[in-house]
Amino acid sequence: MDVTFVTIVESSPRGQRQLTDLALALRTFGGALADAPLVAFVTGRNIASVDVALGPIELRPLPPPDPAHPRLRRLDAVASLAESAGTLVLLEADALVVGDLTAHVGNTVAAVHKDDRPMPDIDWRRLYWTFGVRPPDPGPISVMNGLPSRPLLDTGVLVLPPSRRDALVASWTAIATELVRLSNRYALDFLAPPRWFDRFALMIALYRDDVRFEYLPLGCDFELSFDYHPSVLPSADDLRVIRYGPHMDDRGAVLSSRLYPWVDPVIDRFDRVLAEYLGHRYRRPPRRAIGSELRGAIGASALYRSTAGQRVRAAVRNVRSRGSRG
């Protein structure tokens, strides 16, 4: 199977650890795709070196992102891989491959459905109508409340087959650029926050260009800091990619999760491999501090991410700003 994994890492010690973790996990637990090439785009100066023992890894420079729209840099990365004839699998830098993804990598655009940006129905319709697209009907089950919700693909783990990929990426990029323009001109942030522009732009491009897509199982993109509804949780055996977010120590070991302790044996399996690779004596990393865990849980909650929550935080920032000027 012709598959290339793609990621973007920062030019920093943390970025170096993330790339090492991703490559080591892929080579160890990736199954039939364990030897697939990995292209790592590095923002800023290049990471000094990559261990040849971690398999085929190509480093490519990528200009630093626009601070207001950091996630849109992945579109530049994908566009530069137009020469790749096979399927691209985009992974966030904090992705840890813990199982074989072969069964989920096919000839269809695919990603996990995550509606972690709740919006009123009128805002959904307004967003799609802006681009001349009929709003899709609710269908997929929400990972937040277990009820039917609007389609929204998370781009943290995204499968892009070669068929129609160039046209889709061009459309995706154009729509994202227009969202940025509308946001700057009409303060569209409450409708579609900048950090989610890539998700909304992708969905609009898929529907406008009539490109077929599929939903990956939640186990293919399981975020440790996300507050999932109990009815959608996968089993430990169904996990294929874990997104650890801030759950990493200064050696690169992934920390245990307070939200999902049943994932700890999977994390522990990787941390043992990492300790052996680094030549360290294995010791199980501690859980995150309760304060950090609470902040992560609050940040992932539906209320915090809701339109009302964003408006409250914006009002508080404005009050603080006026107070500091006074």
For the whole model, what pTM was predicted?
0.83
The 10 Å Cβ neighbour count of residue 118 is: 18
The 10 Å Cβ neighbour count of residue 21 is: 25
Q: Which of 65-74, 264-273, 292-301 has the highest mean pLDDT?
A: 264-273
Domain boundaries, the chain: 3-293
Cα 90 from Cα 96, distance rounded (Å): 12
290: burial class by Cβ within 10 Å (0-12, 13-18, 19+)?
exposed
Cα 181 from Cα 175, distance rounded (Å): 10
Mean pLDDT (whole number) for 28-42: 95
The model's confidence at residue 256, banded by pLDDT at 50, 70 and 90, is confident
Is the separation of the CB atoms in 211 and 164 below 8 Å?
yes
28: burial class by Cβ within 10 Å (0-12, 13-18, 19+)?
middle
Mean pLDDT (whole number) for 179-204: 75
- Whether the pLDDT of residue 24 is over 90: the answer is yes
Which of 298, 74, 24, 84 minimizes the C-alpha distance to 196? 74
The model's confidence at residue 315, banded by pLDDT at 50, 70 and 90, is low
List the structure tokens of 235: 């089993």
DSSP H helix total and E strand total for the chain: 9, 10
- Whether the pLDDT of residue 178 is over 80: the answer is yes
The 10 Å Cβ neighbour count of residue 135 is: 15
Mean pLDDT (whole number) for 220-233: 91
CATH pick for 3-293 out of 3.50.50.60, 3.10.20.740, 3.40.50.2300, 3.90.550.10: 3.90.550.10
Average pLDDT of every residue of the chain: 82
List the structure tokens of 253: 């070991």
Is the separation of the CB atoms in 87 and 160 below 8 Å?
yes
